[in-house]
Amino acid sequence: MYKSLFTFATAGLLLSLSASGIQIKNNARVAFLGDSITQQGQRREAGYVNLVIAVLNQNGVKATPVRAGVSGHKSNQMLARLKRDVLSKKADFLFLSCGVNDVWHSRRNMGIPLDQYKKNITAIVDNAQKAGIKVCIMTATMIGEDPANDMNKKLVPYNDFLRRLAAEKKCLLADTNAAMQKQLALLKKQYPKVRGFLLTSDGVHMAPAGDMMMAETLLKAVGVPGNRIDFTKLPCKAEVRLMVPISFYNTIYKANLKQGKAAGSVGEQIDLTVRK
């Protein structure tokens, strides 16, 4: 498979916006507890974890990431390692992303039933809050880019529970599932001829567009205004398998992409460079 690169423009000066309305405090240790989606989001330069930290920095909030994404993990495993990977790291803030594998692995009879999932997630939130950690619950993103498939239907009550729990426990909520569904509906309407995945590389794990979608959702959830989320100023690189026109990145994510050597068209691999 051919790989393409796009390079985000060199970062400018810190924005002058006061960080007083942002729920993550300056010099906070921010944990990202999750599965392979989070693991990839913390490994790739332009993964959603690193985008969140970089944009916080743009907005005057210096944060240290506590990277706690582990491939394949479900709610029981995240609960078991919460002390080691989050509490012992003295995290001040926690983004909790859990649910995809709890449902997806049910195909192999290795999933986590909803009643046990509820107990595990509630325990994670309770233990984090007892340690003085502010929690932002993320809804589980889609399993395949089709909301009507069986896995996504099964995921619905899990996400409904997460929304209720966030309200009950007074947690912040980043509704990444709703954001993903909204973005996919928009893309399919705008680009009806596109075939293949739009926000993900395989239906589950995020492509650069999906990482931007997730980062934007998390940043807004913690109080960063939309007009202060600008990925074009970030000094990072990402691999791109282009499945939508390059204008999509400009229109949706304020990431102005410049066409590379090849003329390129939908679905082709072309070299990209982000510019201001």
* Pairing relationship of beta strands 4-7 and 237-240 according to DSSP bridges: antiparallel
**Within-domain flag for 270:** yes
**Within-domain flag for 225:** yes
Check residue 123 and give its pLDDT: 98
Q: What is the pLDDT along the chain (276 residues), one digit of tens a residue?
A: 323 333 333 333 344 344 669 999 999 999 999 999 999 999 887 789 999 999 999 899 999 999 999 999 999 999 999 999 999 999 999 999 999 999 999 878 889 999 999 999 999 999 999 999 999 999 999 999 999 999 999 999 999 999 999 999 999 999 999 999 999 998 888 767 666 778 888 899 998 789 989 999 999 999 999 999 887 777 655 444 444 555 565 555 555 444 433 333 333 333 333 332
We report the CATH number of the domain holding residue 190 as 3.40.50.1110
Indicate the Cα dihedral angle 32, 52, 10, 1, nearest 10°.
Answer: 60
Residue 89 CB neighbours (<10 A): 15
- 192 vs 194: CA distance, rounded Å: 6
**Within-domain flag for 231:** yes
Task: Supply the range of the domain harboring residue 265.
Answer: 4-11+25-274
**Within-domain flag for 195:** yes
- 143 vs 152: CA distance, rounded Å: 6
- 146 vs 117: CA distance, rounded Å: 23
User: Residue 85's closest CA among 168, 29, 153?
Assistant: 29
Residues with Cβ within 8 Å of residue 110, at least 6 apart in sequence: none
DSSP letter at 156 equals H
- 215 vs 209: CA distance, rounded Å: 10
**Within-domain flag for 19:** no
Total structural domains in the chain? 1
**Within-domain flag for 198:** yes
**Within-domain flag for 17:** no
Angle at which helices 150-168 and 114-130 cross, to 10°: 30
From residue 13, alpha-carbon distances to 81, 227, 234 in Å are 38, 16, 11
**Within-domain flag for 99:** yes
User: Residue 7's closest CA among 217, 223, 208?
Assistant: 208
